[in-house]
C-alpha cells in the first residue's frame, strides 16, 4: 500500500510541475520597463515675413507598374508539346490534356482546376492515377511511374505545371 501512495504522489507532483511550467508568466511583461519617451522638438518661430505654416513634404511617388511583357511565367510558356519528353514547365488551363511519350511511363495528363486546387488525371493504357493538389503549396507534388508533377500559381493567378522524370 505505501508503494502505491508514493507512485500516486510522484505522478501528481510531476503533473503539477508540468502544468505549472506550461503556463505563461505575464508578470515579467508587466515589470518590463517601457522605453523612454522622447519629446518632439518644439517648432521654431518663423522668421519675420515668413509664412507661419510649415512646408508640406512632397507626396511619395506612386510605385511603377510592372511592365506587361506578355511573357508567360512558365519556362516553356503555353507550348504543351514541350512536355512530350516529360521535362517541362508549362502554363496550363482547366480542361487541357498534355501528351507524353509512352516511354516515360504515362500517355497523357488531364488538368482540371478549381481555384488553387488542381486535379491531375494521368493515364497509362487502361490505368489511371487521379491526384488532387494545392497549387499554392510548394510541397504539393504527385508521382506516377517515375514522373513528378508539381503545380504552382503564378502572378495573375496563372496555373503552371512542372513535369519531370527520374
What pLDDT, in 10s, does the model give residues 65-110? 333 456 788 999 999 999 999 999 999 999 999 999 999 999 999 9
What percentage of the chain reaches a pLDDT higher than 90? 53
Residue 6 lies in a domain: no
Under a CB-based contact definition with an 8 Å cutoff, are residues 109 and 98 in contact? yes
Parent domain of 93: 80-159
Residue 101 lies in a domain: yes
- What pLDDT score was predicted for residue 71? 77
The DSSP string of 26-85 is -HHHHHSPPPPP-PPPPPPPPPTTS-SSPPPPPPPPPPPPPP-----SSTTTT-GGGGGG
Structural domain total, the chain: 1
Residue 143 sits at φ, ψ, to 5 deg, of -125, 140
| DSSP-derived secondary structure letter, 19 | H
pLDDT tens-digit map of 8-28: 444 444 344 443 444 444 444
Residue 13 lies in a domain: no
Residue 139 lies in a domain: yes
Residue 128 lies in a domain: yes
- What pLDDT score was predicted for residue 72? 83
- For residue 99, CA distances in Å to 70, 86, 95 come to 25, 9, 13
Residue 54 lies in a domain: no
Amino acid at each position: 500500500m505505501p508503494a502505491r501512495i508514493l507512485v500516486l504522489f510522484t505522478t501528481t507532483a510531476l503533473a503539477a510541475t508540468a502544468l505549472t511550467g506550461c503556463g505563461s508568466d505575464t508578470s515579467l511583461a508587466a515589470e518590463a520597463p517601457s522605453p523612454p519617451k522622447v519629446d518632439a522638438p518644439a517648432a521654431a518661430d518663423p522668421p519675420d515675413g515668413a509664412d507661419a505654416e510649415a512646408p508640406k513634404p512632397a507626396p511619395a511617388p506612386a510605385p511603377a507598374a510592372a511592365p506587361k511583357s506578355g511573357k508567360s511565367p512558365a519556362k516553356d510558356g503555353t507550348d504543351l508539346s514541350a512536355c512530350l519528353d516529360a521535362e517541362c514547365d508549362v502554363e496550363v488551363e482547366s480542361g487541357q490534356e498534355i501528351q507524353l511519350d509512352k516511354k516515360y511511363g504515362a500517355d497523357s495528363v488531364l488538368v482540371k482546376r478549381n481555384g488553387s486546387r488542381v486535379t491531375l488525371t494521368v493515364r497509362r493504357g487502361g490505368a489511371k492515377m487521379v491526384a488532387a493538389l494545392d497549387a499554392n503549396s510548394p510541397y504539393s507534388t504527385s508521382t506516377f511511374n517515375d514522373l513528378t508533377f508539381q503545380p504552382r500559381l503564378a502572378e495573375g493567378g496563372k496555373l503552371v505545371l512542372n513535369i519531370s522524370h527520374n
